[in-house]
Structure 1
Amino acid sequence: MDILLLLIPVTLVLLAIAGLLFGWSVRNGQYDDLDSPAQRILFDDDEHMVPKPTQNSDQNKDQNQDKHD
């Protein structure tokens, strides 16, 4: 029975901390937009991974075409 005198105040303190953290997250907009993060994976944003042709590679292509003509 003595343990209840310890567990009840500890539980109330933890509940108050959880309530404050939840209130803080709501005020900072953590729950404003729940749909966009799930749809963001569907957009194609890997253009930075595709190598861009350089001027030298264009010149090499032109030279190779001239050899074949």
Structure 2
Amino acid sequence: MEVIIVLLPIAIFLAVGFLLFFIWATKTGQYDDLDTPSIRVLFEEEKNNIVHNQKKEE
């Protein structure tokens, strides 16, 4: 029974911590765009950008 006295405040503290972290993450835009990063590799680069990068390497 004494274990509940220790575990209950720890559980409440962790729950509040995760809630605050979730609120911070949503306010700073961490969950705004979840689809674009996974398909960004499929987009083709512009020709001008590729030529410009090749000149820098030489």
Please give the TM-score of this superposition, normalised by the length of structure 2. Answer: 0.73
Moved over 4 A (4+): none
The gaps in structure 2 that reach 5 residues or longer are none
The gaps in structure 1 that reach 5 residues or longer are 55-69
CA distance, structure 1, for counterparts of residue 21 and residue 44 of structure 2: 35
| RMSD of equivalent CA atoms | 2.0
Q: Deviations over 1:31-67 (max 9, x none)?
A: 111110111121245x44xx55x7xxxxxxxxxxxxx
User: How many residues are aligned here?
Assistant: 51
Please give the TM-score of this superposition, normalised by the length of structure 1. Answer: 0.63
Higher RCO structure, 1 or 2 (CA under 8 Å, sep 6+): 2
> Structure 1 vs Structure 2: percent identity of aligned residues?
38
Could you say which structure has the larger radius of gyration? 1
